Amino acid sequence: MFESLSERLETAFKQVKGQGRITDLNVAATVKEIRKALVDADVNYKIAKEFTDKVKDKATGEKVINAISPGQLMVKIVKDELAGLMGGEASELVLKGNPAVILIAGLQGSGKTTFSGKLANYLKLKKGKSPLLVAADIYRPAAIDQLKVLGGQIGVDVYSEPDTKDAVQIARNAVKEAHSKNKNVVIIDTAGRLAVDEAMMAEVAAIKDAVQPQEILFVVDSMTGQDAVNTAKVFNDRLDFGGVVLTKLDGDTRGGAALSIRYIVDKPIKFVSSGEKLDTLDVFYPERMAQRILGMGDITTLVEKAQEQFDAEQAARLEKKIRKNQFDFADFKQQLEQIKKMGNIKDLLGMIPGVGKAVKDLDISDDAFKGIEAMINSMTPEERANPDVIDLSRRKRIAKGAGKDVSEVHQFMKQFDQMRQMMKMMNKMPMGRMGVPRG
C-alpha cells in the first residue's frame, strides 16, 4: 500500500536522520523532497505545499532544534500532519433510525456493490445487526444478480424488483420490507455511471429525498487519484454525503486520494476496502494509516485482527497440547486457518514495523499456505494426530494426494519436527510459558 510514497518519504528523511542537529538548510531540503513525493503520489500541489509549510514551521521551532534526535522528531511531525490531513480521529458509521438507512453512491466500477456486501457482512458479524441489501440499480440487470450472489455468500437477504423501472420506488419499498421483516439496517446499492452525469445524480438525490438516509457513503476507487477527488467533490455538492469509502487499496495505489479527499470535501474517510473477499473491510484510522505510510507498521490493527480471531477455549486447548508435547498436524492446520481469517498475508506482514518494505516485491498471495494445507489434507486423521507414524510409504502417498514431490513432504515434515522440538525445549525452560494467550 502506497509503497512508492513510503520509499520517497524515507529517502527524504535521510537528510535529517542521523544528523545531530536540525538546521534550516537540512529542513528545507527534507521538506522539498516530501513535497515532491506527495505531488508524485498524486496529491494536489496546493495541498502538498500547505502540508510541507506546516511541517517546516514545526520542524524549525525551538523544541525541534534542541531535540536529542531531530530526525525522529521530524518523522513524528510528518506522521502527525499526515494523520491530520486524513482527518485525525476515526469517524464512526452513523447507524440511526429503525431501520437505519445507508445509501451507497459512486461511479460504476468504483466497488459499490462489493462494498455493500462487505458492509452488510461487517454489520451482521461485528455489530450484531440484521441488514437488508437493496439492489436499486435499474439499468444493469447483472447488478441485481451480483448483489444476490454476495448476499447469498454472507447470508444476508437482498431486496430487488427486477421489473420495476423506478429506483426511488424500489428504495421506498425496501424500507417498508425491512420494517415488516425486522431488519434494522437497510443498505441501498445505487446505480453508477462511468462518469458523473446529471441523470444519475438526479436519481441518487431523489432516492435520498425519498428515504432520508441517516448515512450516505460515497465509494471511490483509490487507484483513480486526482479523479477520485474531483468526483468526490461533485457527489458531495449534490448529496452532502457523510463519509467516504476508499476501495482497491490492495492495488497499486499511489495515495493521492487517501491523502487529499478529506481536505477537498471536508468529509471523513470511514472505511477502506482492499480485496474482493467479503470479510476484508477495515474501519479507517488516519493515525494508523499515517504510520503505515511512514513504514512504522500498524501493530494496533494487527493485534486487533488477531484478537478477533482468537478463540479463548481453542487457545487453552492448544496450550495444553503444546505443554504436553502433543502439538500435531490438526492443530497446525487450525492455526493456519486462523491466520488466514485475519486477512491478506502480505497486508498483515506490512503491519509489522519495517517489514512492509522488505516484502513489497515478494509475491505472497493468499494461497501462500495452499501447498502446506494440501499436504495436511491428504493425511489421514490418524497421521494428523500422530505425525510419528508417517513413514516413507505414507509420505509418498501424501505427496501424491497433494500433487507434490515427496521431497517437499520431507521438507515440510522436517520443518514441522523442528517446530515441535522448539516447543519441547521451551516447555523445559524454567519459565516455560509459551506466550500463548491464556483463556
| Site residues, ligand GDP (CB under 6 A) | 106, 108-114, 192, 247-248, 250-251, 273-276
Q: Is residue 242 marked as binding?
A: no
Nearer to ligand GDP, 89 or 252 (CB): 252
| CB of 248 or CB of 395, closer to ligand GDP | 248
C-alpha cell at 190: 445505487
- Residue 249 marked in a binding site: yes
Q: Which residues have C-beta within 8 Å of that of residue 253, sequence separation ≥ 6?
A: 1, 2, 222, 223
Tell me the CA distances in angstroms from 320 to 204, 315, 335, 406, 426, one per residue in order.
57, 9, 15, 32, 13
Could you give the C-alpha distances from 379 to 31, 400, 408, 418, in angstroms and in order? 58, 11, 14, 19
- Whether residue 403 is annotated as binding a ligand: the answer is no
Q: Would you say 143 or 398 has its CB closer to ligand GDP?
A: 143
Q: How far is the CB of 251 from ligand GDP (least distance, A)?
A: 5
CB nearer ligand GDP, residue 75 or residue 119: 119
106 is in an annotated binding site: yes
63 is in an annotated binding site: no
Residue 248 in marked binding region: yes
CB of 146 to ligand GDP, least distance (A): 6
Q: How far is the CB of 246 from ligand GDP (least distance, A)?
A: 9
d(CA 62, CA 22): 10
Partners of residue 217 on adjacent β-strands: 104, 243
Measured from the CB atom, the residue of 275 and 343 that comes closer to ligand GDP is 275
Q: Would you say 35 or 248 has its CB closer to ligand GDP? A: 248
State the cell numbers at 21: 542537529
User: Is 247 annotated in some ligand binding site?
Assistant: yes
Q: Please state, in angstroms and rounded to a whole number, the distance separating the CA atoms of residues 111 and 218.
A: 10
Partners of 273 in beta bridges: 281
Is 250 part of any known ligand binding site? yes
The label of the residue with cell 499511489 reads 254
Shortest gap between Cβ of 261 and ligand GDP (angstroms)? 16
Choice between 34 and 220, CB closer to ligand GDP: 220
Instruction: Return the C-alpha cell found at 46.
Output: 496546493
Comparing CA positions, the residue from 337, 288, 269 lying closest to residue 309 is: 337
Residue 425's contacts (CB-CB under 8 Å, 6 or more residues apart) are none
> Could you tell me the CA-to-CA distances from 386 to 275, 309, 330, 380 in Å, in that order?
38, 27, 10, 10
Q: If you search the block for the grid coordinates 482527518, which residue do you land on?
A: 87
CB of 118 to ligand GDP, least distance (A): 8
Query: Residues 386, 329: contact at Cβ < 8 Å?
Result: no
107 marked among binding-site residues: yes
Rounded least distance, CB 103 to ligand GDP, Å: 14
Is 5 annotated as ligand-binding? no
* Closest distance to ligand GDP from the beta carbon of 272 (Å): 8
Q: How far is the CB of 200 from ligand GDP (least distance, A)?
A: 12
Q: Is 156 strand, coil or helix?
A: coil
The distance of closest approach from Cβ of residue 32 to ligand GDP in the complex, given in angstroms and rounded to an integer, is: 34
111: annotated binding-site residue? yes
Going by C-alpha positions, the residue among 398, 412, 150, 371 that lies closest to residue 277 is: 150
Task: Read off the C-alpha cell for 160.
Answer: 430487488
* Angstrom distance (rounded) from CA 332 to CA 365: 20
Strand-pair partners of 188: 103, 134
Q: Tell whether 157 is in a known binding site.
A: no
Whether residue 99 is preceded by a cis peptide bond, meaning omega within 30 degrees of 0, is yes
Q: Residue 137 or residue 287: which is nearer to ligand GDP going by CB?
A: 137
Closest CB to ligand GDP among residues 64, 119? 119
Smallest distance, ligand GDP to C-beta of residue 279, A: 12
Tell me whether residue 295 is annotated as binding: no
Nearest to ligand GDP of 248, 254 (CB atom): 248
Q: Which three cell numbers stand for residue 284?
A: 479507517
User: Which strands, in side-by-side order, build the sheet including 243-247?
Assistant: 157-159, 131-136, 185-190, 100-106, 215-221, 243-247, 269-273, 281-283
Residues comprising the binding site for GTP? 106-113, 189-193, 247-250
Residues comprising the binding site? 106-113, 189-193, 247-250
